[in-house]
Amino acid sequence: MNEISPEKIQKYYHQLLTEAEKAGYHLNSDLDLTLELVKSLLTNEERYGYQSCPCRWASGLKEEDRDIVCPCDYRDQDLAEYGRCYCALYVSAKATKENLSQPIPERRPSKEERKKKAEKEISHPSSLSLPVWRCQVCGYLCARQEPPEVCPICKATKDRFERFY
């Protein structure tokens, strides 16, 4: 595996920081940790073709790992409950030292549980004139034939949307 250059890490860190602040999110101010996490995201992009969470065991199959592509589907819930996301790349403005030094539980359902959830989401009897799509990263909802190419709120890609109603 190629070692990611420090310049590339710095550049991507600044990009993530700008995007995060613009959208009301915050990166961890522990710069050593944050740069390690950014490096790992780039490593995973090279390895798997997508930026899988550095602290989770990726399958190597994008369909199976969509929920843990950074920012993961669990980030906002963990920010609300623990002041940080699972790997601690993202933190809430109110995060305390305690939040950042203790590990938090894994919220991602097991492989079996994820499979069951996917099967449950097949039918959507609806009296609405259009389907409603939900961004699984930030919760943005929109009523249209297809989800947008990119979430207008958090910039997640189309494949992160689920049919909500």
Partner 1 sequence: MDIKQVEGRKAGKLMLYAISTCPWCQKTKTLLNELGVEYSYIDVDLVPEEEEDKIRREVERWNDRLSFPTLVIDDEEVIIGFQEERIRQVLKGKKQ
- Using rule CB under 8 A, residue 100 touches partner 1: no
Nearest to 68 by CA among 95, 104, 108: 108
Looking at beta carbons only, is 66 or 108 nearer to partner 1?
108
Binding mask 108-127 toward partner 1 (x if CB under 8 A, else -) reads x-x-----------------
- Check if the beta carbon of residue 28 is closer than 8 Å to that of residue 34: yes
User: What's the CA gap between 44 and 141, in Å, rounded?
Assistant: 29
- Which of the stretches 48-56, 70-78, 122-130, 137-145 binds partner 1 when contact is defined by CB under 8 A? 48-56
Q: Does 51 bind partner 1 (CB under 8 A)?
A: no
Cβ of residue 80: shortest distance to partner 1, in angstroms? 19
The CB-of-74 to partner 1 minimum distance in angstroms stands at 12
The footprint of partner 1 on this chain (CB under 8 A) covers a number of residues equal to 21
For Cα atoms 97, 100, 106, give the angle at the middle one, nearest 5 degrees. Answer: 150
Q: How far apart are CA 83 and CA 16, in angstroms?
A: 19
Q: Is 105 in the site for partner 1 (CB under 8 A)?
A: yes
How far apart CA 145 and CA 150 sit, in angstroms, is 15
Binding segment toward partner 1, per CB under 8 A, in 50-58, 64-72, 121-129, 142-150: 50-58
Q: Which of residues 56-75 bind partner 1 (CB under 8 A)?
A: 56-58
User: CA-to-CA distance for 139 and 142, rounded, in angstroms?
Assistant: 10
Q: HSE-up of 91 (CA within 13 Å, CB side)?
A: 18
- The residues that touch partner 1, with contacts defined as CB under 8 A, are 33, 36-37, 40, 43-44, 54-58, 87-88, 101-106, 108, 110
